[in-house]
Amino acid sequence: MPIYDLRCGEGHRFEVIQSFTAPLPDCPYCGAATTKVPSRVAVTGLASAPPPPERMPQTWRGTYGANREYVAELRRTADARRRLEEKYPELAGDRRPILAHEGRFERAPLRAGDPLPGAAPSHAHAHGHGHGHGHGHGHGHGHGRATGERSRPSEVAP
């Protein structure tokens, strides 16, 4: 039997389940005559986009040891994502190659061109030596020695 939304002249709304041939009941709140009103549409279900490549398994363990059925489903999912991105390029996101995706990079993969987290910025000089790599000789531009003072053999690290 269908469900009807009814309303009376006083504005009361209610639902009834009854045969489409049965007469409409009076309002249960005030007893006035009722009329059918358009039902509210209930949209159910869930729409979801296939995950982007960086959210897909990247390791042997992530594919359950390359389980044939699981890998086939991953391929179908990847194909669905590719088709979606072809239709809606704004969903494509960052396509730079992923260099690291495990350990500390599990939640935010390291991509080509990203700085290494925790790495100090480079201070390389024109003569090719960077700071702090322990080669033990002075450069004449200040590493805690007086200008022009050279390192002595006893100061060189073994």
Q: What digits encode the pLDDT tens for the residues 128-155?
A: 444 444 445 444 544 444 444 454 455 5
Cα–Cα distance, 141 to 155 (Å, whole number): 18
Residue that is written with structure tokens 């979606």 in the block:
84
Residue numbers of the domain that contains 9: 3-36
Instruction: Say if 153 falls within a structural domain.
Output: no
Question: 144 is written with which tokens?
Answer: 């805690």
Question: 104 is written with which tokens?
Answer: 């500390």
Confidence (pTM) = 0.39
Instruction: Say if 57 falls within a structural domain.
Output: yes
Instruction: Say if 91 falls within a structural domain.
Output: yes
What are the tens digits of pLDDT across the range 29-63? 999 999 988 766 666 667 788 888 878 887 788 88
Nearest CA-CA partner of 93 in 104, 108, 105, 106: 108
Instruction: Say if 143 falls within a structural domain.
Output: no
